[in-house]
């Protein structure tokens, strides 16, 4: 499916952005240079007639992304958490994409449930509401169990959503190929690998059985986290296209007015969101990787509720330790140590100058400390980081893409609650606690015991393995293979002739 026909899809993408007026609105919000704005308009204008019109009642950017499809909607959801990049007004417009998209009919949802679970909806639920939230991949209904009377949330996939995502991902692969062909300097970012990673994430999100498993694991990991709630799945009411979770009432984390009216401390909520994410990533190596405001609520008691477990991130223990050391180095402003960790982990080629890299990291980190977060231009900071990575030949690490993306989203959520939050000050106690527990003498003892346990499993096999190795070493070397004279083709013809004679002789007998 990744053929030239996707060129038309990419042209229509640019044409839709131009037709809806989104190109100008987005570039203006991001304060793009005039030459970039001019180039975008010149490239988009000739194909304007090919673009999708979208819903004229929506703002330009939201209108374009909803018309383009679910993969583009996912991009808009991420940008909605970054007012420092796209501006306050644009971020508010894009929040529409989180859970306010047009729903599909309730009758269609019921038919999907009946086909998936094999029973009529009326025999499972005493009450089944109209959609209470609709996002890019699925929509949610509130229902009441017929047998227990419990309130639950029933998530149902959109019809034909897999085909729609496949169309977008195929176009993304073509775009990655074009980028690598036309901009060789971008190959170090491995755009094809990035799209492949995104494709894997989406495949998991389109199977609600996997999301049910993720919800169950995440709930087990976080059941002792104070101020955090994860609804548990009902397995007998879940399948590939349907997932049923316990219902938890709360205010949307994007509704600051409702949060203030309920008497919650938004500064405390902002710090808790960031610290919970770091705790899950470092402590458990398993974190919610789609923590935008549409997937978070606040209960009347002040607890944070997490929903939508279609995208989860996992980190091995070594990567977690590297990540923690890098964060701790920035927090302590020890840029030399941050540079050393990058080299030790192989993130930067060994032939680069470590002192020069540490100096470049200092320029990135120093503006953050002692400064109000609202005065930091994240767009400018990210632009400088890109220059640094390009200069030092750092390769995009696909296993960290989800972590980096989620960190951006979580910081945006926290900043929407508390515009003056300083992520480094808030992160410090979590990272220091992890460092203390996992990089000290106790951690070395645990690593040694784990190594001994692994070796002990091979204990019964060690004598046989040693004996086999000794036999191989003491055995005489095999004689060299005999070389046949003549051309290999002649030997093949001779063999074929002998086979034919044998067959003829057998038939004659």
Residue range 77-93, pLDDT digits in tens: 766 655 655 666 777 77
What's the rounded Cα separation, in Å, for the pair 237 and 146? 12
Confidence of residue 224 (pLDDT cuts 50, 70, 90): very high
CA 313 – CA 400 distance, rounded (Å) = 9
The CA distance from 387 to 134, in Å, is 39
Can you give the pLDDT at residue 205? 78
Long-range CB contact pairs, 275-279, < 8 A, 24+? 275/426, 275/427, 275/429, 275/430, 276/222, 276/225, 276/228, 276/304, 277/406, 277/407, 277/410, 278/427, 278/430, 278/431, 279/225, 279/430
Confidence tier at 30 by pLDDT (50, 70, 90):
low
Lowest mean pLDDT among 11-15, 70-74, 201-205, 372-376: 372-376
CA separation, residue 222 to residues 56, 227, 285, 324 (Å): 43, 10, 12, 20
Q: Just list the catalytic residues.
A: 290
Cα–Cα distance measured from residue 65 to residue 137, given in angstroms and rounded to the nearest whole number:
14
Q: Is the dihedral of CA 34, 412, 285, 361 positive or negative?
A: positive
155, β-bridge pairs: 140, 243
Closest of 238, 167, 231, 156 to residue 202, by C-alpha: 167
Q: What is the pLDDT of residue 212?
A: 94
Q: What is the mean predicted confidence (pLDDT) over 491-502?
A: 43
CA–CA dist 116, 274 (Å, integer): 37
Question: In the structure, what pLDDT confidence band is assigned to residue 109 with cuts at 50, 70 and 90?
Answer: very high
Q: Which of 209, 345, 224, 347 minimizes the C-alpha distance to 284?
A: 224
Q: Cα–Cα–Cα angle for 476, 482, 486, nearest 5°?
A: 170
Segment 222-238 shows an average pLDDT of 93
User: What band does 495 get if pLDDT is binned at 50, 70 and 90?
Assistant: very low
Give me the pLDDT at residue 155, please. 95
Q: Please report where in the chains the tokens 């729903």 appear, as a residue.
A: 103
pLDDT attached to residue 84: 54
pLDDT in tens, 420-452: 887 778 888 888 888 888 776 776 777 677 777
Q: Write a three-state SS string for 268-310.
A: HHHHHHHHHHHHHHHHHCEEECCCCHHHEEECCCCCEEECCCC
CA distance 361 to 383: 13
Convert the pLDDT of each residue in 36-79 to its tens digit.
566 566 666 676 666 777 778 788 888 888 888 777 787 777 66
Q: Report residue 109: phi and psi, to 5°.
A: -60, -40
Residues 6 or more apart whose CB falls under 8 angstroms from that of 12 comprise 47, 50, 51, 52
Coil, strand, or helix at residue 506? helix
What confidence score (pLDDT) does residue 428 get? 84
Q: Which of 219, 211, 261 is nearest to 239 (CA)?
A: 211
Question: Per-residue confidence at 234, pLDDT binned at 50, 70, 90?
Answer: very high
Helix (H) and strand (E) counts in the chain: 23, 10
Does residue 238 have a pLDDT over 90?
A: yes
The closest of 501, 115, 32, 76 to 292, measured between CA atoms, is 76
Residue with the bigger pLDDT between 494 and 142: it is 142
* Residue 381 pLDDT > 60: no
Beta bridge partners of 138: 157
First CA to last CA across the chain, in angstroms? Answer: 57
CA atoms within 13 A on the CB side of 174: 18
- Other CB atoms closer than 10 Å to residue 112's CB: what's the count? 18
Q: Which pair of tokens denotes residue 359? A: 């100096």
Tokens 């390009």 found at: 390
pLDDT, tens digit (0-9, with 9 covering 90-100), for 257-297: 999 999 999 999 999 999 999 999 999 999 998 888 878 99
Q: Residue 196, Cβ neighbours under 10 Å: how many? A: 16
Specify the pTM.
Answer: 0.71
CA gap 308, 289 in Å, rounded:
10
Residue 249 pLDDT grade (very low, low, confident, very high; cuts 50, 70, 90): confident
Mean pLDDT of the chain: 78
């Amino acid at each position: 499916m990744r053929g030239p026909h996707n060129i038309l899809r990419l042209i229509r993408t640019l044409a839709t952005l131009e037709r809806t007026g989104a190109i100008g609105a987005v570039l203006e919000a991001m304060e793009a240079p005039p030459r970039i704005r001019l180039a975008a308009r010149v490239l988009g204008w000739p194909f304007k007639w090919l673009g999708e019109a979208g819903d004229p009642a929506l703002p330009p950017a939201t209108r374009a992304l909803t018309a383009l499809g679910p993969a583009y909607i996912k991009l808009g959801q991420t940008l909605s958490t970054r007012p420092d990049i796209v501006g306050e007004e644009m971020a508010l417009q894009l929040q529409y994409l989180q859970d306010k998209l047009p729903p599909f009919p309730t009758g269609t949802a019921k038919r999907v449930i009946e086909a998936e679970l094999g029973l009529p909806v009326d025999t499972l639920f005493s009450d089944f509401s109209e959609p209470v939230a609709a996002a890019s991949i699925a929509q949610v209904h509130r229902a009441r169990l017929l047998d227990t009377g419990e309130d639950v949330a029933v998530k149902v996939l959109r019809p034909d959503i897999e085909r729609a995502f496949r169309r977008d991902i195929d176009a993304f692969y073509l775009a990655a190929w074009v980028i690598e062909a036309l901009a060789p300097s971008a190959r170090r970012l491995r755009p094809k690998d990035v799209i492949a990673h995104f494709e894997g994430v989406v495949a998991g999100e389109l199977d609600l059985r996997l999301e049910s498993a993720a919800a169950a694991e995440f709930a087990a990991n976080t059941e002792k986290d104070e101020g955090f709630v994860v609804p548990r799945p009902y397995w007998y009411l879940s399948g590939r296209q349907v997932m049923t979770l316990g219902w938890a009432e709360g205010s949307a984390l994007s509704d600051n007015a409702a949060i203030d009216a309920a008497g919650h401390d938004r500064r405390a909520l902002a710090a808790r969101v960031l610290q919970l994410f770091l705790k899950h990533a470092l402590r458990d190596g398993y974190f919610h990787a789609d923590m935008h405001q549409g997937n978070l609520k606040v209960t009347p008691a002040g607890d944070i509720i997490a929903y939508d477990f279609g995208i989860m991130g996992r980190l091995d223990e070594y990567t977690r330790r590297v990540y923690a050391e890098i964060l701790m180095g920035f927090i302590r402003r020890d840029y030399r140590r941050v540079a050393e960790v990058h080299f030790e982990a192989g993130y930067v080629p060994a032939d680069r100058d470590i002192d020069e890299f540490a100096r470049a990291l200092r320029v990135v980190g120093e503006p953050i400390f002692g400064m109000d977060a609202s005065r930091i231009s994240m767009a400018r900071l990210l632009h400088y980081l890109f220059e640094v990575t390009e200069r030092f030949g750092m390769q995009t690490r696909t296993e960290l893409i989800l972590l980096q993306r989620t960190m951006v989203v979580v910081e945006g959520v926290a900043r929407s609650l508390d515009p003056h939050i300083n992520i480094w000050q808030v992160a410090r106690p979590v990272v220091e606690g992890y460092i203390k527990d996992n990089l000290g003498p106790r951690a070395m003892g645990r690593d040694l015991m784990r190594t001994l346990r692994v070796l002990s499993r091979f204990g019964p096999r060690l004598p046989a393995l040693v004996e086999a190795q000794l036999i191989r070493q003491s055995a005489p070397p095999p004689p060299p293979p005999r070389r046949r004279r003549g051309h290999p083709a002649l030997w093949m013809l001779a063999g074929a002739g002998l086979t034919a004679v044998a067959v003829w002789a057998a038939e004659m007998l």
